[in-house]
Amino acid sequence: MSEPYDRTSGERGATPDSIENARENVLDGWPSSEDVSRFIDERRSERETALFSSVQDDEPVAVTEPEADPEPEADEPDLASEPALAPEPEAVAETDAEEDPAPLVDPDPIVHASSEHAPGEFAIPPGYSVLEGAANGARRAVGVVVSRFNGDVTSRLLANALDELEAAGVASDAITVMPVPGAFELPIGAMALAKTRRYACIVALGCVIRGDTPHFDYVAAEAASGLQLAALETGVPVSFGVLTLERADQADARVDKGAEAARTALEMADLFAHLRAAAAR
């Protein structure tokens, strides 16, 4: 075991007396608790005194007012307050003159019957045998079934059809006119005439005008399909001369449909005659 170390002499093998003397020597250099408290209070008092003195010595800060904007000189115009200049009359007149005029719009394009047809003529390439009929009424009898409803229009349709038949060579005594109540009765009237086998063709004339109810759609559709059925059932050509109008004033541009229906019926009758003759050879 090593000997004790003597702190006083720095040698080992120290005695108890030397150890006690070393303890006292060490504690002599440390301040007491009272000295520590007194030192802390003094330092605190010094800091408070120094802080109070610095506040007393500060000078007040001068507040500088912002400088006002200099007023504009009298010679410089204030653009913001000046009123907007109106355009000169000459410039306005020239601007109006340069604008394109509004396009003209047809207020009633339906009235023009020509809009229902495409331009150009039908043509058959050469080198083919052609079986074709013509509106020839010589030695033919024609039955005309016409609706009494909307009589002002159907009367003009009938007059145009009769003039066309006579111009095509149909004798007046070979034409039979059979009035029926309305367009809905045209199919059964046409079928009755065709079944007699006395007429080469039938001309059907009528007029239906759209109203506030679906009545127009039913009558127009049944008249068209019924007349087609009469032709298919009997084999006698039946032409469709029924006007289907949105308004009554549209009839003025379409009354020539009576003459067109007469020509169509005669052409189909002549075509069937050529077909029978070709088949008999």
Buried b (16+ CB within 10 A) or exposed e, 14-31: beeebeeebeeeeeeeee
User: How is residue 127 annotated by DSSP?
Assistant: S
**Helices and strands: H and E segment counts in the chain:** 7, 6
Positive or negative: CA dihedral 160, 166, 167, 168:
positive
Q: Is 215 an annotated catalytic residue?
A: yes
CA pair distance 98, 106, nearest whole angstrom: 24
**Rounded CA separation 144/190 (Å):** 8
CA distance 160 to 257: 8
| Cβ within 8 Å of residue 194, ≥6 positions away | 143, 202, 230, 231, 233, 234, 236, 238
Rg (CA), the chain: 61
Q: Which of 112, 117, 215, 274 is catalytic?
A: 215
Separation CA 188–CA 216 (nearest Å): 19
Whether the Cβ atoms of residue 204 and residue 188 lie closer than 8 Å to each other: no
Q: How far apart are CA 163 and CA 268, in angstroms?
A: 18
Q: Tell me which residues are annotated as active site.
A: 215
